[in-house]
């Protein structure tokens, strides 16, 4: 598939609370390119401007200066079809369970499609599709009360509410923060499925490096309002100096492999996917046994 940029950000600046004593420069010259169908992770320490950046993707924040082009639409232009943009770019906020407001799950997910002015039948189909996508049983769950759900279920409902808009680009702000391990893994698998099978372009913010290693094709690292580093997870997690300089954590697998390496075992430190890392460790164990016997 030829690589076609769907999001292009160039030298983007944003200042919060402009012209007040609380003025705060959140973005200072960020650039980034996302190609169609990619899965991109944005990482960086707290307050580095990740959430501010992604709010530019669907025009919630307009560029102060710099270029933001989303699927051919230049957001620095004043007159753009903002509703069409928000339909194309589905943005799931941090703690999206807060935004649920209807009494019944089905109604809440249907809010977006109804706002699009779709006919009832189509709305129903979309709600069903979206609920299937996030692993909620349509018949069983659509008439359940929203307030009596667990945190993880609420988050699924919120995600379904965005998916029902059938976006081309899915943007998620810390989608798994505060979820229990099981809901977390389920959600990650759904995101992977959407990216690989339904061909959604996915951009997600995360503090969890296991997650980044599992999902992302490429990673952008942000610090102090700019992008300081980008590359594949291998590039990022094997660059020890930079990891330290920008206080980026690494997946536990990488840590284990580095320690084995330091102890003089010959392991491949870029094999950080859990199964690959396990193979490396088994290799070390087998070698060790071999020595004992020999």
Among 2, 72, 101, 264, binds other proteins (CB under 8 A): 101
Among 49, 90, 113, 175, binds ligand ATP (CB under 6 A): 49
Torsion, Cα of 29, 33, 39, 43 (10° steps):
-20
Q: In angstroms, rounded to a whole number, what is the distance separating the alpha carbons of residues 158 and 95? A: 9
Q: In angstroms, rounded to a whole number, what is the distance separating the alpha carbons of residues 84 and 195? A: 21
Say how many C-beta atoms besides its own lie within 10 A of residue 285's C-beta. Answer: 11
CB 155 within 8 A of CB 183: yes
Q: At its nearest, how many Å lie between other proteins and the CB of residue 161?
A: 6
Taking every pair of Cα atoms in the chain, the longest distance, rounded to a whole number of angstroms, is: 76
Q: At its nearest, how many Å lie between ligand ATP and the CB of residue 51?
A: 3
Please say which residue, 55 or 76, places its beta carbon nearer to ligand ATP: 55
Considering only residues 94-113, where is the footprint of ligand ATP by CB under 6 A?
A: none
Please say which residue, 27 or 163, places its beta carbon nearer to ligand ATP: 27
Please say which residue, 19 or 293, places its beta carbon nearer to other proteins: 19
CA nearest neighbour of 81 among 65, 58, 63: 58
Q: In angstroms, rounded to a whole number, what is the distance separating the alpha carbons of residues 177 and 4? A: 31
Please say which residue, 172 or 277, places its beta carbon nearer to other proteins: 172
Residue 156: exposure state from Cβ atoms within 10 A (0-12, 13-18, ≥19): buried
CB 109 within 8 A of CB 127: yes
Please say which residue, 51 or 230, places its beta carbon nearer to Mg ion: 51
Residue with tokens 């807060």: 98
Q: Does 48 bind ligand ATP (CB under 6 A)?
A: yes
Q: Does 46 bind ligand ATP (CB under 6 A)?
A: yes
CB 151 within 8 A of CB 182: no
Q: Which does 116 bind (CB under 5 to 8 A by kind): Mg ion, ligand ATP, other proteins, none?
A: other proteins
Considering only residues 5-34, where is the footprint of ligand ATP by CB under 6 A?
A: 16-17, 24, 26
Q: At its nearest, how many Å lie between other proteins and the CB of residue 196?
A: 24
- Chain residues in the site for Mg ion (CB under 5 A): 51
Which residues of the chain form contacts with other proteins (CB under 8 A)? 16-22, 55, 58, 60-64, 76, 78, 83, 86-87, 90-93, 96, 98-101, 111-112, 115-116, 161-162, 165
């Amino acid at each position: 598939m030829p690589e076609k940029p769907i999001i292009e950000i160039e030298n983007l600046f944003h200042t919060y609370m402009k012209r007040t004593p609380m003025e705060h420069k959140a973005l200072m010259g960020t650039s980034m390119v996302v190609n169609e169908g990619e899965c991109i992770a944005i990482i960086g320490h707290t307050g580095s401007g990740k959430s501010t950046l992604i709010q530019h993707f669907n025009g919630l924040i307009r560029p102060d200066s710099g270029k933001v082009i989303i699927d051919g639409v230049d957001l620095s232009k004043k007159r753009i079809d903002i509703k069409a943009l928000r339909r194309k770019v589905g943005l799931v906020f941090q703690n999206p369970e807060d935004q649920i407001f209807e009494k019944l799950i089905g109604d809440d997910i249907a809010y977006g499609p109804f706002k699009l002015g779709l006919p009832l039948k189509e709305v129903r189909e979309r709600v069903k599709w979206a609920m299937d996508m996030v692993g909620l049983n349509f018949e069983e769950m659509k008439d359940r009360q929203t307030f009596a759900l667990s945190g993880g279920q609420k988050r699924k409902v919120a995600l379904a509410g965005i998916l029902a808009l059938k976006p081309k680009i899915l943007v998620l702000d810390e989608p798994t923060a505060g979820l229990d391990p099981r809901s977390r893994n389920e959600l990650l698998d759904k995101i992977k499925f959407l990216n690989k099978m339904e061909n959604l372009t996915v951009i997600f913010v995360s503090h969890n490096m296991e997650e980044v290693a599992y999902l992302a094709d490429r990673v952008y690292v942000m610090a102090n309002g700019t992008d300081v580093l980008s590359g594949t997870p291998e590039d990022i997690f094997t660059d020890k100096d930079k990891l330290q300089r920008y206080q980026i954590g690494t997946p536990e697998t990488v840590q284990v492999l580095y320690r084995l390496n330091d102890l003089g075992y010959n392991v491949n430190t870029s094999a950080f996917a859990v199964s690959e890392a396990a193979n490396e460790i088994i290799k070390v164990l087998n070698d060790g046994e071999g020595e004992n016997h020999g």
